[in-house]
Amino acid sequence: MFDSLNEQQKKAVEICDKNLLIIAGAGSGKTKTLTYKIAYILKNNLAKPYEILALTFTNKAADEMKQRIVNIINTSIENFYIGTFHALSLRFLRKIGKNYTIYDKHDQEMLVKDIIQSLNLDKNKFSPSKISSYISKLKNSANMEFPTKEIEKIYNMYEERLVNANAADFDNILINFINELKKNDELRLKFQNQFKFILIDEYQDTNNI
Ligand SMILES: Nc1ncnc2c1ncn2[C@@H]1O[C@H](COP(=O)(O)OP(=O)(O)O)[C@@H](O)[C@H]1O
Ligand SMILES: [Mg+2]
């Protein structure tokens, strides 16, 4: 099963008692190593499927990771915790009873547009799509500094409207889940105890959150 790995890949697969960061060029076999590592962990009973968390940032990378794991272990991975940060955060949020309506890019822009109108701001100066992506950028940055009072006001109203609608945009899926973990010691402990292995593919694509 592991014969197709080179020596360095094998070593990375077999070291399971410490944290590893694998840095190698594109196409050099990082995803292969990660997927075989999951197979290795299962084969050697180092963890149960539900004790492994495998994350990546884009849907494309998540689908590839899932497909490759299925090909290696040849069983359904439906109940495995493998997917994007967003998909898994949403799944965990639903498990604790947080059923948000998800606002996509279009929904976000419509909401921003509505807020701009209600504030009587000049719609030529405040473009919903630009402000919407600006808000997203701010939310994903470590420190939130608003360039103008108007944008701060739009942002505050935007967040308030999301909360009132029991909605979340893509950024809030991560932010809200992190906030749950921060404020709920029991929940955090449950996750810390449950996941014996956390594997992240395409780590360079992760954001500050
Ligand atoms: N040791 C190896 N022997 C043969 N083929 C390999 C080996 N390692 C990786 N490959 C192949 O190289 C390609 C790229 O591997 P991949 O894991 O996607 O790389 P990365 O994630 O680093 O971009 C895949 O088709 C994979 O099957
Ligand atoms: Mg890869």
Q: What is the CA radius of gyration of the chain?
A: 21
pLDDT in tens, 158-181: 999 999 999 999 999 999 999 999
Residue 172 counted as domain residue: no
CB-neighbour burial class of residue 84 (10 A; exposed 0-12, middle 13-18, buried 19+): buried
The reply to whether ligand 1 has any atom less than 6 angstroms from the CB of 10 is no
C-alpha distance across the termini of the chain, in Å: 36
For residue 114, the Cα-to-chain-centroid distance in whole angstroms is 28
Residue 179 counted as domain residue: no
Do 75 and 13 share a structural domain?
yes
Q: Which of 32, 56, 69, 200 is the best mutation target for the ligand 1 pocket, counting ligand atoms within 8 Å of the beta carbon and taking the most?
A: 32
Using the predicted structure, report yes or no on whether residue 144 has a pLDDT greater than 90.
no
Query: What CATH number is associated with residue 161?
Result: 1.10.10.160
Do 13 and 54 share a structural domain?
yes
Do 149 and 92 share a structural domain?
no
The reply to whether ligand 1 has any atom less than 6 angstroms from the CB of 6 is yes
The reply to whether ligand 1 has any atom less than 6 angstroms from the CB of 27 is yes
pLDDT of amino acid 165: 98
25 in a labelled binding site: yes
| Domains contained in the chain, number | 2
Pairing of strands 101-103, 167-169: parallel
| Contact status, residue 29 vs residue 6, Cβ threshold 8 Å | yes
Residue 171 counted as domain residue: no
Residue 174 counted as domain residue: no
Q: Which domain holds residue 152?
A: 101-165
168 in a labelled binding site: no
pLDDT of amino acid 138: 92
Task: Quote the tokens at residue 45.
Answer: 């009973």
Using the predicted structure, report yes or no on whether residue 116 has a pLDDT greater than 80.
yes
Residue 173 counted as domain residue: no
Local confidence band at 52 (pLDDT 50, 70, 90 cut-offs): very high
Residue 180 counted as domain residue: no
Top pLDDT among 124 and 185 is at 185
Using the predicted structure, report yes or no on whether residue 1 has a pLDDT greater than 90.
no
H helical segments located in 44-197: 59-73, 85-95, 105-118, 128-140, 149-164, 170-183, 185-194
Residue 177 counted as domain residue: no
Pairing of strands 197-200, 167-169: unpaired
pLDDT in tens, 63-108: 999 999 999 999 999 999 999 999 999 999 999 999 999 999 999 9
* Mean pLDDT, range 182-194, rounded to an integer: 97
Local confidence band at 141 (pLDDT 50, 70, 90 cut-offs): confident
166 Cβ contact partners less than 8 Å away, ≥ 6 residues apart: 99, 100, 101
Residue having the nearest C-alpha atom to atom 9 of ligand 1: 29
Do 105 and 90 share a structural domain?
no
DSSP state, 166?
A: T
Residue 2 counted as domain residue: no
